[in-house]
Amino acid sequence: MQFGSKSCANLGWLAGCSGSRRRARVIVSAADQEKTEDKDEDKDSSAFNPFGFVTDNPSSRSAIQIIESPAESGNVGQMLYRIEDKGKEYGKYVRSGEHVWFVRETGSAESQRETVIFLHGAPTQSYSYRNVMSQMSELGFHCFAPDWLGFGFSDKPQPGYGFDYKEEEFHEEFDRLLDVLGVKSPFYLVVQGFLVGSYGLTWALKNRSRISKLAILNSPLTVSSPVPGLFKQLRIPLFGEFTCQNAVMAERFIEAGSAYVLKLEKADVYRLPYLSSSGPGFAILEATRKANFNNISTQIASGFASGSWDIPTLVAWGIADKYLPQSVAEEFQKGNPTAVKLKLIEGAGHMPQEDWPERVVTALRVFF
C-alpha cells in the first residue's frame, strides 16, 4: 500500500504553479528596497504570514499563481502535465521484494573500473547525482544511485504494511536492492545528506567488508552537528503534518543550504514527487519521527574514529554549507587522520554534487 493520492488539497502545492528562475544570488535594488520599506511601515513586521513558506523563498517567490495572468500561471494539473516526465535521466524501476525502487545507472557491468553506489539524503533524491554519475561513467566507472524508499520516484510504503521507516528497515531493504542489482562487493560508496544519508553511513559501519573506499559529501558527522529546522518542525505534532505537505520543501531546503538558487527545470524535478502525491511528505514525516538524531550522530562519530575504522575515506566538503559548518568536517577528520582525508570544495554548499559536480568528480577521480 502506498502513501497518498493525486490531490490539490494543500497550500504547498500552490507554490508549484509557475515562475522563472536563475542560478544566481537574489539582488534587490535600492529603489525597490525603499518602496518595500515604505509599505512595511504600515504593517506589523512581526505579524504571522501564512504564506511565508513560499514568499520567503527566493526560488519560489514568483511561483504563486498570479491573478493578472492566470493563463500563464496555469494550475497544479497543468503544472504536473508540464513536468511529469522530467528528472528521470539514466533511471529505471527495479522491483526488490515487496517494493519498487527508482534507480539511476550509468556505465555497465563491463566498465573498466569499479562500481560506485551513490546515496542521497533527505528531503532530496538521486537526481542530485545525475551530472556526477554521467561524468564518472565516462571515466570508466559503473554507477548506481537509488531513490531511497519514500523519496523521489521510489515507492512510498504506508507504515504498518511491511515498512515503518526505521533505520534497520532502510538497511534491510538496501541490502535486498544490492542483491537484485547484482552489485558485487567490495564497491565504492558515496554518501551525502541528512537522515537517510546518515543511514547510508550507519549501513557502511555494519557492512565494512562490502566497501573498498568511502566518500562522504556534506553530512552530519559529529555529535555537535546541528539539526536543520525542517526536521525539528516535522517532529512537532500537527505542525509537522502541515510542513510535510509543502510542495516546495525539497527545493527550499536545497537553496537554504547553498549560495545558489535552483533553475526552474531543476526545481521542477525536486518538487514533482510532492506535487504528484501526499506520499513523499508523509514518508519523510514518518522517517523523521522514527529517527534518533543524537544516537545516529553518536554511532557515526564513534564508528569512524581511529581504532574503529581503517577503510580509506574521503570527506569532500562544500565550504558554503549553511547547515553544517566546515568545523564538522575538520573535527571528523581529526578523529581518524590516518584513514580520513579532507578535501574542501570552494563554491559549493550543502549539496556539492548539485552546486559544483565537476569539482566533486575531480575529487572522486583522484581518490578512487
Residue reference for cell 562500481 = 115
Phi first, then psi, for residue 227 (nearest 5°) are -100, 125
Q: Is 35 helix (H, G, I), strand (E, B) or coil?
A: helix
How far is it, in rounded angstroms, from Cα 93 to Cα 154?
A: 8
Contact between 132 and 355 (Cβ < 8 Å) = no
Closest by Cα among 183, 231, 181, 180 to 207: 183
pTM for the full predicted model: 0.80
What pLDDT shows up at residue 6? 42
What pLDDT shows up at residue 44? 46
Contact between 60 and 259 (Cβ < 8 Å) = no
The edge-to-edge listing of strands for the beta sheet with 187-191 is 91-96, 99-106, 142-146, 115-119, 187-191, 211-217, 313-318, 340-345
pLDDT digits 0-9 by tens, 81-111: 555 668 899 999 999 999 999 999 999 988 7
Phi first, then psi, for residue 158 (nearest 5°) are -85, 130
Phi first, then psi, for residue 102 (nearest 5°) are -100, 125
Ranges of the chain whose pLDDT falls below 70: 1-85
Distances (CA, A) of 328 to 92, 179, 220, 315, 342: 35, 34, 7, 11, 11
Contact between 304 and 313 (Cβ < 8 Å) = yes
HEC profile of 141-197: CEEEEECCCCCCCCCCECCCCCCCCCHHHHHHHHHHHHHHHCCCCCEEEEECCECHH
Longest CA–CA separation in the chain, Å: 68
Distances (CA, A) of 217 to 111, 192, 288, 311, 353: 24, 5, 21, 16, 8
Closest by Cα among 181, 121, 175 to 148: 121
Contact between 220 and 300 (Cβ < 8 Å) = yes
Contact between 145 and 92 (Cβ < 8 Å) = no
How far is it, in rounded angstroms, from Cα 63 to Cα 339?
A: 46
Contact between 314 and 341 (Cβ < 8 Å) = yes
Angle at CA of residue 115, ends 202 and 326, nearest 5° = 45
pLDDT digits 0-9 by tens, 143-192: 999 999 999 999 999 988 889 999 999 999 999 999 999 998 899 999 99
Class (C level, CATH) for 79-367: alpha beta
Contact between 197 and 119 (Cβ < 8 Å) = yes
